[in-house]
Structure 1
């Protein structure tokens, strides 16, 4: 929290260019984390991917691409424990090796947190059809399984969890709801 927007970021597409030529870390070894590390590797001087689990969970094709990049290190079985800085900007990430218990420091300028999100849809279980990940299932018009109910944003099955995507999806949902009302 102390270094949010001072070196801790959540969107490699939005903030990645701010770290051009710098050392960064990505926390998370699922598809989002590996994709972020691949994207960042083309911008920054070095990327260290830090994963809590003993192996990456991303699709094999993404893992293969990541491993082919010369400026990427992958650390598994790592518990990220602390972000260090000078009060104004990030200087390092500290993690504990979960197998040995030894603490390590990675000197860097940026940390991208890509550990995935859990949609806040618990209260919708039952009436709305949810994906196995808990996202509201929508069609191309943002309609749910209940006629007249529309959904938009990161809480839905729409890919690319970005603010601009959510805004566009919100517009689609509004237009679809308007169309539904005038037709019924």
Structure 2
């Protein structure tokens, strides 16, 4: 809650609240889960969400990528240069990624694409992933793909549900910020994966945090500066 010229109040789940002249929102985002048996059991044991982080762990192995949007296809392209083979699983009847990415993916010799495919289970043995099961949505036929890793690439969910009705959010729930990290509410800034800034990477979020802090500092200086009339009288 905010009041013109007053403090910004953040109410906490425990019933308390904190107030400040500025606020920086940096609540991050979480990976969207596919919610099938085996996903939670084998998380970090073959089930991964970041191809940049975990891709090298599967060098020379077979993996699957769930998701045919830009993030999924970009992940599949990147992984294809590291792993032995990539299987792409997309629920819709066609890949949703940009045409240039789809064209690049289809040019790679070690990639197989399954569309209209519903992932039903991630299987494992001895504490690690050994396969993925999917159902052909057109025929109902079930298939098993032997893989050592499954990369879930079906999007990020910003941790901003609690902000609805207070600051402007994009259609994806991201906090809308300008180049300085300012939201549409004076004195409220935001940084990191919860915002509309592209490329959800740690180095970018860290830089945006510094930028938001500098912007908040600049905002405070300007708020505390005397008005021109007051400055004239003081002179």
TM-score band by shorter chain is over 0.9
Computing the radius of gyration over CA atoms, which structure comes out larger, 1 or 2? 2
Higher relative contact order (CA 8 A, sep 6+): 2
Instruction: Give how far 1:164 is off.
Output: 3.4
In the alignment, structure 1 segments of 5+ residues that lack a partner are: none
Query: Hey, what's the Cα distance between the residues in 1 that align with 2:156 and 2:67?
Result: 11
**Tell me, what secondary structure is at the counterpart of 2:221?**
helix
Equivalent residues, number: 184
Question: Per the alignment, in what secondary structure is the counterpart of residue 94 of structure 1?
Answer: strand
Mapped to 2, the partners of 1:17 and 1:140 lie a distance apart of 34
2:25 matched residue in structure 1? none
Residue 79 (str. 1) matches residue 118 (str. 2): yes
How is 1:13-28 mapped onto 2 (pairs within 5 angstroms)? 13-28=52-67
Other-structure match for 1:159? 198
Are 2:61 and 1:33 aligned?
Answer: no
Q: Are 1:97 and 2:136 matched, yes or no? A: yes
4+ long deviations beyond 3 Å: none
**Structure 2 length as normaliser, TM-score?**
0.74
Aligned equivalents of 1:4 and 1:87: distance in 2?
Answer: 14
Tell me the alpha carbon deviations over residues 162-183 of structure 1, each in whole angstroms, 9 at most, x when there is no partner.
2333233222222221221122
**Per-residue deviation, 1:121:** 2.8
CA RMSD of aligned residues (A): 1.4
Residues 105-150 of structure 1: per-residue CA shift (max 9 Å, x gap): 0001111000012323344333322222221111221111222110
Give 1:103 deviation, angstroms. 1.1
Answer 1 or 2: which has greater strand percent.
2
5 Å-filtered alignment, 1:1-184, equals 1-184=40-223
